Structure 1
Amino acid sequence: MRILGISAFYHDSAAALIEDGRIVAAAQEERFTRKKHDSAFPANALAYCLAAAECEMAQIDHVVFYDKPFLKFERLLETYLASVPRGFRSFKMAMPLWIKEKLFQKKLLRSQLGKLAGVKEWSGSLLFTEHHLAHAASAFFPSPFPSAAVLTMDGVGEWCTTSLGHGRGKDFEILKEIRFPHSLGLLYSAFTYYTGFKVNSGEYKVMGLAPYGRPIFVKRILDNLVDLKEDGSFRLDQRYFNYCAGLTMTSPAFHSLFGAEPRTPESPLTQREMDLAASIQAVTEEIVLRLARFARRETGERHLCLAGGVALNCVANGKLLKERIFDDIWIQPAAGDAGGAVGAALAAWHGYLGNGRSPDGRDGMAGAYLGPAFDQRDIEKRLTASGAVYEVLDDETLIASTVDALVEEKAVGWMQGRMEFGPRALGARSILGDPRSPTMQKTLNLKVKYRESFRPFAPSVRREDVAEWFDIDVDSPYMLLVADVLDRHRLATVSDEADLFGIDRLNVPRSKIPAVTHVDYSARVQTVHRETNPRYWQLLSEFKARTGCPILVNTSFNVRGEPIVCTPEDAFRCFMGTEVECLVVGNCFLKKEDQPPALRQDYKERFELD
């Protein structure tokens, strides 16, 4: 039996296909359209999923949408009516789109699916699941746990913003909910907006900025914005927010409380923004910890699953792991809305159809390598058509040549196998570097990624070596847990560091792997497993044999504002538009100096800033 899951029409549209309960394929629409966070109907992602399963729409048993549009419309109407006349402008902008299109999503979906099927309207089984149930299903059903507590936390679905669920075998139930407008995701997004970053995109920048600051606003937040209870439940004082009725996240009362208007995007960052980031991060961590303690008491479970956009806050996840509230944690790698496509399909398979579940200790996401792959012949054909100059190397020579480039402190574009599903590059569509280099961080941020200087990079490390370098000894295949670099690998820092900011602070070597060590000695760890990504594991092994270090810098293969590359053509364009010095696609090895100068591109201004 085949089930297609769809998430669409808000942000990060995606499609996923399962066969007899096994996830066969999943991808985000942005990777095909090259439009970051694309919210359109995921026609390209769906076409890919069908091709990966070698089937047509006529062979699909059910299509499941990750949201219930009428419930969402009900929430919008009630919210606007409660804020009359203040919310009229927002109401006036939203209603035409809802009345014209969103309110009739069943017809829209059938029409779009019909285009894939080659008919006017697809007439198969179309189901809808609630947003947070899709999140919860995406977290529990692919997890390695027979039973678990499940927390979902995001901005908002239909009404729910936070849920506690309990999964046992094939059965799942939601026990508790926090409802709109009280939302941890929207609280964090309000500070994202206030500090000058883009909502639904810049939250991870706030998380990365937090270690530079002091949490001096925590009391002000808890005394005014958030009424936080011991069990983690909370209410937000809506006087300080504008997302219910207005077109911004924060209100004049919020600005007055913190003594200034929101920072202008792209303007210089100050200590104030750093302190605000540190403060909202600390509040978020406290809420997550309280919710987790309540989940443990309420369910009695030893394992926890997480999903929803807040579950991408890997710093909070790391704190949660360290507190040992649960024996183990599993986080859906596509924890945001994209993962709702997987959850919707799995919710139908287990919930609607009642099929059983037999976890075997491994998760069902296959390392998140669920996107398109290209065979060697196709890669060569595509690169040749792009004008690329390359060598075709055997496996052993390819790995050795890549390590040569890394040891020479070159940035290497690395495209291998199936593309990752979710926001993180995990060694299939990555830019790699030598973590021991004191200049690699600066080079990648300023000359390759064209992004803010304060943002840290993540280490990929062989799973068997992780405890030798970091204060963690669990699987972290999806780069969703932060851990500290061990003391024995740290270096003494300069005494006048307080006078430094941004890249200047990051350029102070803090460990033997300075390129992946943040200013607080933390690192967003990805463990690499031989079973799920053998070629990347082999590269790390060879790098370790050559240098004694089993770690590489791993950042996503894109520039700021660009979706992660999908095809060999995408990889070659990004390679030619940045200062990446080598590109490895399949068994093709490319050097920048060998490429025709006429193919160089200016990538720095090509994409809208994120």
Structure 2
Amino acid sequence: MRILGISAFYHDSAAALVEDGRIVAAAQEERFTRKKHDAAFPAKAVAYCLAEAGCGMADIDHVVFYEKPFVKFERLLETYLATSPRGFRSFRTAMPVWIKEKLFQKSMLRKQLGKIGGTKSWSGSLLFTEHHLAHAASAYFPSPFPSAAVLTMDGVGEWCTTSLGHGRGNTLKMLKEIHFPHSLGLLYSAFTYYTGFKVNSGEYKLMGLAPYGQPRFVQTIMDNLIDLKEDGSFRLDQRYFDYCTGLTMTSAAFHQLFGGPPRSPESPLTQREMDLAASIQVVTEEIVSRLARFARQETGETRLCLAGGVALNCVANGKLLKQGLFKDIWIQPAAGDSGGALGAALAVWYEYLGNARSVNGDDAMAGAYLGPAYGQNEIEGRLAAMGAVYSVVGDDDLIASTVDSLIEEKAVGWMQGRMEFGPRALGGRSILGDPRSPTMQKTLNLKVKYRESFRPFAPSVRREDVAEWFDIDADSPYMLLVGDVLDSQRLRPNREDTDLFGLDRLNVARSKIPAVTHVDYSARVQTVHRDTNPRYWDLLSAFKNRTGCPVLVNTSFNVRGEPIVCTPEDAYRCFMGTEIERLVVGNCVLRKEEQPEALRHDYKERFELD
């Protein structure tokens, strides 16, 4: 039994294929089209999933879409009628797309699937699931828990913006919902917009900026924008927002409340933006904490699963773990809309078809390594066709030479095995560096990633070593939990350093691993497990043997505005367009100084800024 899940037409389109309950493949369309957050029908991702399963569209038993378009259209119409005539401009903008495409989504999906299968229209079983059920299913069914409370939080699906579910065995019962326009995701996105970042991609920048500020606007937010109850339910005062009736996120009242218009994108950051980021982060953490407390009381469960875009807020996740409300927390690595494709497929397998579910203590995501992989011969052929100069080395020499490069403080492009599913690079498509270097964070941001200087980097650490460096002793394979660097690994700050504010704090070394230590001593930890990524685990082990440090800087293999690399060609282009000094693809090692000068190119301006 093969089930193909699809998410599309908003942002981060994706496809996932489940075969007899096993997750065979999952990937975002952006990785193939090289268009960040690509919202188009995921034709290339579907084709990849079919190839990975060794089948065609004729072999698919069910295709399931991750939301219900007619219910979403109902929300659009009701919102317009409730706010008329103020919302006419946004209504007029949205209507042509809905009338031309989205109201006929069923026939459009069949035509697109037919193209892939070589027919005019695919005639098999086409199903639709609710958006938040897809999120919840993506969180619960792959989790290692026999039962769990399930929280989903995002911008909006059809109507739902926040939901509480209870998973037991092969059933997932939805218990409570909060509906549009009251949305934690849209609240956070309003501040993303107001501080000058792009909605649906800049939220993680806002989270990274928060430690530079002081949360002086928390009471202003609580007194004016949101009515928050003890159980975590809330209502937003729509006078301060414009997402229902306009084409922006915030209103004039919002701007007056916080002292001026939104920051212009790419303009200098001020203390106001930093304080706003700190404030909305505190408010978000409080809302998530109350929702989780209510979930614990309502379900009686000691385990919690999370999904939806808000679940990518790893700072809130880390603080929730430390509170001890739940014994275990598991977060879907593709927590945003891309993960809805997987959740929809799993919902069909378990809920619609009623198949049994068994757990063995491991999650079913296989480390999120669910994308394409390339054999050694194919890697060599593809690189040679591009004119690349490379050496082929054995496994031991590969690890040793990579460690040499890291110790020399070189930036290393690392492409190994299957591509990750979700927004995080987890050692399959990563840029690596030495965390002990006091200049690595600045170098990677400005000369390799071409992004804002304040952005932090994550540490990868062997699972067995994590508690010796961070105040977290739990699995965090998907880089979705933040912990603090232990006191024993910190450096005592100079008196002058303690008096610094804002971005002036950026270049102060705070620990023995300054490149992955944020200004508040926090770190977005990835635990590396030998069973899911043995080559990356071996690299960390070798680096520890040479340096005494089992940690590496791990950031996604791309530049700002570019999707994470997928193919050897993508990796080589990024390598040759940035100041990455070494590239390791499979068992091929490439040195920048040996590459043809004619193949170097300016990569900085190639992609639209996110």
| TM > 0.5 | yes
C-alpha distance after superposition, 1:29-59 (max 9, x if no partner): 0000000000000000000000000000000
Instruction: Report the equivalent of 1:59.
Output: 59
Which amino acid is the alignment partner of residue 18 of structure 1?
A: V
Q: Which moved more, 1:273-282 or 1:488-497?
A: 488-497
Cα distance between partner residues in 2 of 1:609 and 1:233: 35
Conservation of the 8 A alpha-carbon contact between 2:271 and 2:502: no
**Given the alignment of the two structures, is residue 193 of structure 1 paired with residue 193 of structure 2, yes or no?**
yes
C-alpha distance after superposition, 1:533-563 (max 9, x if no partner): 0000000000000000000000000000000
Equivalences for residues 40-79 of structure 1 within 5 A: 40-79=40-79
Displacement after TM superposition at 1:83 (Å): 1.2
Which amino acid is the alignment partner of residue 507 of structure 1?
A: N
Cα distance between partner residues in 2 of 1:501 and 1:561: 29
Displacement after TM superposition at 1:324 (Å): 0.3
Instruction: Report the equivalent of 2:292.
Output: 292
Displacement after TM superposition at 1:495 (Å): 2.5
The 1:501–1:377 alpha-carbon spacing in structure 2 relative to 1, beyond 3 Å, is farther
Which amino acid is the alignment partner of residue 194 of structure 1?
A: Y
Instruction: Report the equivalent of 1:371.
Output: 371
C-alpha distance after superposition, 1:112-162 (max 9, x if no partner): 000011000000000000000000000000000000000000000000000
Equivalences for residues 120-519 of structure 1 within 5 A: 120-497=120-497, 500=500, 504-519=504-519
Cα distance between partner residues in 1 of 2:302 and 2:463: 23
Query: Kindly, what percent of the aligned residue pairs are identical?
Result: 83
**Given the alignment of the two structures, is residue 33 of structure 1 paired with residue 37 of structure 2, yes or no?**
no
Conservation of the 8 A alpha-carbon contact between 1:25 and 1:370: yes
Cα distance between partner residues in 2 of 1:520 and 1:76: 42
Cα distance between partner residues in 2 of 1:341 and 1:315: 25
Q: Which moved more, 1:228-237 or 1:489-498?
A: 489-498
Displacement after TM superposition at 1:498 (Å): 6.1
Cα distance between partner residues in 2 of 1:356 and 1:308: 25
C-alpha distance after superposition, 1:512-536 (max 9, x if no partner): 0000000000000000000000000
Instruction: Report the equivalent of 2:607.
Output: 607
Cα distance between partner residues in 2 of 1:476 and 1:418: 19
Cα distance between partner residues in 2 of 1:384 and 1:114: 35
Cα distance between partner residues in 2 of 1:501 and 1:580: 31
Conservation of the 8 A alpha-carbon contact between 2:560 and 2:607: yes
Displacement after TM superposition at 1:493 (Å): 1.5
Cα distance between partner residues in 1 of 2:315 and 2:487: 19
**Given the alignment of the two structures, is residue 579 of structure 1 paired with residue 579 of structure 2, yes or no?**
yes
Q: How many residues align?
A: 610
Conservation of the 8 A alpha-carbon contact between 1:454 and 1:502: no
Helix, strand or coil: the match of 1:606? coil
The 1:583–1:226 alpha-carbon spacing in structure 2 relative to 1, beyond 3 Å, is same
Under a length normalisation based on structure 1, what TM-score does the superposition of the two structures give? 0.99
Cα distance between partner residues in 2 of 1:259 and 1:467: 43
Which amino acid is the alignment partner of residue 231 of structure 1?
A: D
Cα distance between partner residues in 2 of 1:374 and 1:520: 40
Instruction: Report the equivalent of 1:101.
Output: 101
Q: Which moved more, 1:76-85 or 1:179-188?
A: 76-85
Cα distance between partner residues in 1 of 2:503 and 2:582: 24
C-alpha distance after superposition, 1:382-412 (max 9, x if no partner): 0001110000000000000000000000000
Conservation of the 8 A alpha-carbon contact between 1:333 and 1:368: yes
Which amino acid is the alignment partner of residue 92 of structure 1?
A: R
Conservation of the 8 A alpha-carbon contact between 2:213 and 2:502: no
Which amino acid is the alignment partner of residue 114 of structure 2?
A: G
Cα distance between partner residues in 2 of 1:39 and 1:504: 38
Cα distance between partner residues in 2 of 1:359 and 1:134: 20
Conservation of the 8 A alpha-carbon contact between 1:489 and 1:512: yes
Cα distance between partner residues in 1 of 2:309 and 2:408: 38
Cα distance between partner residues in 2 of 1:28 and 1:500: 41
Q: Which moved more, 1:485-494 or 1:271-280?
A: 485-494
The 1:503–1:372 alpha-carbon spacing in structure 2 relative to 1, beyond 3 Å, is farther
Instruction: Report the equivalent of 2:554.
Output: 554
Q: Which moved more, 1:2-11 or 1:505-514?
A: 505-514
Cα distance between partner residues in 1 of 2:85 and 2:289: 38
Cα distance between partner residues in 2 of 1:529 and 1:504: 36
Which amino acid is the alignment partner of residue 179 of structure 1?
A: H
Cα distance between partner residues in 2 of 1:124 and 1:48: 19
C-alpha distance after superposition, 1:59-101 (max 9, x if no partner): 0000000000000000000001111111111111100100000
C-alpha distance after superposition, 1:551-590 (max 9, x if no partner): 0000000000000000000000000000000000000000
Displacement after TM superposition at 1:497 (Å): 3.3
The 1:286–1:157 alpha-carbon spacing in structure 2 relative to 1, beyond 3 Å, is same
Cα distance between partner residues in 2 of 1:147 and 1:570: 41
Which amino acid is the alignment partner of residue 164 of structure 1?
A: L
Helix, strand or coil: the match of 1:423? coil
Instruction: Report the equivalent of 2:529.
Output: 529
Displacement after TM superposition at 1:233 (Å): 0.3
Helix, strand or coil: the match of 1:455? coil
Cα distance between partner residues in 2 of 1:349 and 1:553: 38
C-alpha distance after superposition, 1:155-201 (max 9, x if no partner): 00000000000000001110000000000000000000000000000
Cα distance between partner residues in 1 of 2:601 and 2:419: 24
Under a length normalisation based on structure 2, what TM-score does the superposition of the two structures give? 0.99
Conservation of the 8 A alpha-carbon contact between 2:15 and 2:27: yes
Cα distance between partner residues in 1 of 2:98 and 2:269: 38
Which amino acid is the alignment partner of residue 341 of structure 2?
A: A
Helix, strand or coil: the match of 1:496? helix
Which amino acid is the alignment partner of residue 15 of structure 2?
A: A
Extract structure 1 runs of 4+ deviating beyond 4 A: 498-504
Cα distance between partner residues in 2 of 1:281 and 1:314: 11
Instruction: Report the equivalent of 1:8.
Output: 8
**Given the alignment of the two structures, is residue 588 of structure 1 paired with residue 588 of structure 2, yes or no?**
yes
Instruction: Report the equivalent of 2:82.
Output: 82
Cα distance between partner residues in 2 of 1:34 and 1:348: 30
C-alpha distance after superposition, 1:272-320 (max 9, x if no partner): 0000000000000000000000000000000000000000000000000
Helix, strand or coil: the match of 1:422? coil
Helix, strand or coil: the match of 2:330? strand
Which amino acid is the alignment partner of residue 432 of structure 1?
A: L
Cα distance between partner residues in 2 of 1:93 and 1:17: 34
